[in-house]
Amino acid sequence: MKAARAVLEYLKGQGVRHIFGIPAGSVNVLFDQLVEMPEITPVVTKHEGAASYMAAAYAKYSGQMSVVIGCSGPGGTNLVTGAANAMREHLPVLFLTGAVPVNTLGLNASQELDADPVFRPITKYSVMVRESKDLLAEVVKAVEIAISGVPGPVHVAMPIDVQQGEVQHVIIPDPPKRAPIVPDLGVIKQVALELSQREKGYIFVGQGVRYSVDQVLEVAEVLNWPILTSPQAKGFIPEEHSLHAGVFGFAGHEGASSLINEGDGQALLILGSSLGETATNNWNANLTKNRFCVQMDFDETVFGRKYEIDIPVLGDINLSLMFLMEELKALGLPRDGAKALEKPQGYKVTEEYNTQNVLKNLQKHLPADTRYTVDIGEFMSYVIHYMNVLDYNTFDINVHFGAMGSGIGSAIGSKLAEPDRPVVCITGDGCFFMHGMEILTAKEYNLPILFVIMNNARLGMVYHGHELQYKRSHASFGQKEISIAAMAAAMDIPSFRVEELDDLTQDSVRNLLNTGGPAVLEIALVDNNTPPMGDRVKFLSSFGK
């Protein structure tokens, strides 16, 4: 058996059903073996970077490890951004890169690159394998590292002759299982006592609550404390929940900011947030000021980075909250006479052709369980601020790492992971010109995804940032408008171009949803309103003063 085949057999046993990437000389052995393995479908993309975003989203929404592959040299370096993104989001992705034959290492062979040290700072484990007999063992080790503890990406570089080599007496190991990180019960008891002694407080949730939403809501209802979410956690707490107080952080809501800056909450329970810049409104000191702070996370490196934490709780968040719930009940909670949070009135749609009205109208014409994969651009802040959370896990917003074009690949990975869930990618012309050709990947694999492209013929976020910071912007930030709908039509992909609000009708949207494959909805709109970036506006306006 070839060493590459042994690796594929192991991955098949892991439940891997898709491998994302692009075939090339240094990985041809692996792709050749896939011909004989119909259980694994190679998803051949247009760019390795997009493949890495697909794999990350697939891992996120399938709940299992995913695999992405690139050739030696440029294929590997094209995967680097995706690896850094997966590391930031704690996603178990196996990055496989080809490499030149072992006996040519260091001789300036075509596409040679020592990828091991390149990937090392942005993965949990990175290795170059030099003998065929070691390849399966190293992949097994990498996979175990990827899913254990705090999940994350790993990288294995495979010289072509190492993949090609024959291995004897191969035993395919069973899939590893992640051992839960169990919190210290004594610490949980202390947290319950402290929280029970404080009548008013807030719960701040980050993306780490993805698999713990029911427990979050249960604890919030027992404490009767408002729930604030980070931008990346938008989509986890239903809009109609009586304790949902909105988004705090980049593009957040005034009500949430008022609670943090002016509210009388005596405690802050932080769940699954690393308290980074976008989550905290540029590290707003008021978040924890004069408040007893508890932070729960499975990643101990997040404790005490920027804010002083009174009690850090290390453990899987769902377990920590389950144990906390029991202790709070034992202390006599919930209290009598609890009142629901007074919520502000929602945004009213007007007739103006602007970004917020486009997005509100768009959501009105789409199924409630639609997942929106949101790219990086000025439209992102409107999504965070104005779009409603109608169902669980409906927003994939990559503001944390902020890679332009990542939303396009994420839409494809999400659709492959959950084929029955409607997926809409909201992206911009700048992102589209980076990774927009992946709509052809969606076409080739018959994936019904609606790509909504906000086309303002400029780098909108950059433009507004410069206008706020310098009161001017460089002419090069804009370009002559291109009809993206016409581009899609040239690729035989259904498309529709919106030029005024009345164009965005239920029929125009539904027609694109029923094509049996991808479709493009182009929104031709230059919106000169300052995007609702929250305190980011104040930060940029005063920067350097």
Q: Which conformational region is residue 337 in: left (phi greater than 0), alpha (psi within -120 to 50 degrees), or beta?
A: left
What value does the mean pLDDT take over residues 290-312? Answer: 97
- Alpha carbon 343 to chain centroid, angstroms: 28
- Give the domain extent around 478: 355-542
Compute the residue count for the chain. Answer: 545
Q: Among 285-299, 322-336, 436-450, 452-466, whose mean pLDDT is lowest?
A: 452-466
Same domain, 426 and 301: no
Q: What is the DSSP string of 250-297?
A: TT--HHHHHHHHH----EEEEES----TTTTTTT-GGGTTTSEEEEEE
Chosen domain end from 129, 164, 199: 164
Is residue 172 included in any domain, yes or no?
no
Same domain, 433 and 287: no
Is residue 528 included in any domain, yes or no?
yes
Inter-residue contact 100 to 111 (CB < 8 Å): yes
Inter-residue contact 495 to 489 (CB < 8 Å): yes
Chosen domain end from 315, 330, 345: 330
User: In angstroms, rounded to a whole number, what is the distance separating the alpha carbons of residues 240 and 497?
Assistant: 33
Same domain, 85 and 118: yes
Is residue 248 included in any domain, yes or no?
yes
What value does the mean pLDDT take over residues 522-531? Answer: 90
User: In angstroms, rounded to a whole number, what is the distance separating the alpha carbons of residues 500 and 425?
Assistant: 20
What's the pLDDT band for 37 if we cut at 50, 70, 90? very high
Residue 70: strand, helix, or coil: strand
Is residue 381 included in any domain, yes or no?
yes
Is residue 260 included in any domain, yes or no?
yes
Q: Which amino acid is at 168?
A: Q
Contacts of 545 (CB under 8 A, 6+ apart): none
Chosen domain end from 296, 313, 330: 330
Same domain, 49 and 137: yes
Is residue 263 included in any domain, yes or no?
yes
Q: Among 61-70, 78-87, 466-475, whose mean pLDDT is lowest?
A: 466-475
The predicted pLDDT at position 346 comes to 57
Same domain, 387 and 515: yes
Is residue 70 included in any domain, yes or no?
yes
Inter-residue contact 29 to 166 (CB < 8 Å): no
The predicted pLDDT at position 344 comes to 56
Inter-residue contact 153 to 123 (CB < 8 Å): yes
Name which residue leads in pLDDT, 401 or 57.
Answer: 57
Entry pTM: 0.94
What value does the mean pLDDT take over residues 92-117? Answer: 92
* pLDDT tens column, 400-444: 788 899 999 999 999 999 999 999 999 999 999 999 999 999 999
Same domain, 231 and 280: yes
User: In angstroms, rounded to a whole number, what is the distance separating the alpha carbons of residues 55 and 22?
Assistant: 13
Nearest to 405 by CA among 371, 368, 380: 380
Same domain, 513 and 365: yes
Is residue 218 included in any domain, yes or no?
yes
Average pLDDT, the chain: 93
If one counts the domains in the chain, the total is: 3
Same domain, 307 and 391: no
Inter-residue contact 52 to 20 (CB < 8 Å): yes
What's the pLDDT band for 518 if we cut at 50, 70, 90? very high
Q: For the chain, what percent of residues have pLDDT higher than 90?
A: 85
Angle CA 219–220–225, to nearest 5: 140
What value does the mean pLDDT take over residues 341-357? Answer: 75
Q: Tokens 């709780």 appear where?
A: 313
What value does the mean pLDDT take over residues 363-380? Answer: 95
The predicted pLDDT at position 235 comes to 92
Q: Among 135-139, 175-179, 540-544, whose mean pLDDT is lowest?
A: 540-544
Name which residue leads in pLDDT, 204 or 457.
Answer: 204
What value does the mean pLDDT take over residues 77-88? Answer: 97
Same domain, 444 and 482: yes
What's the pLDDT band for 343 if we cut at 50, 70, 90? low
**Domain CATH for 228:** 3.40.50.1220
Same domain, 153 and 218: no
Sheet holding 66-70, edge to edge: 41-44, 18-21, 66-70, 93-99, 154-159, 125-128
Angle between helices 213-223 and 317-330 (to 10 degrees): 30
pLDDT at 345 over 90: no
The predicted pLDDT at position 338 comes to 53
Burial of 32 (0-12, 13-18, 19+ CB in 10 A): middle
Q: For the chain, what percent of residues have pLDDT higher than 70?
A: 94
What value does the mean pLDDT take over residues 146-162? Answer: 97
**Domain CATH for 395:** 3.40.50.970
The predicted pLDDT at position 236 comes to 96
Name which residue leads in pLDDT, 467 or 376.
Answer: 376
Same domain, 457 and 363: yes
Sheet holding 267-271, edge to edge: 244-247, 227-229, 201-205, 267-271, 292-297, 311-314
Same domain, 123 and 230: no
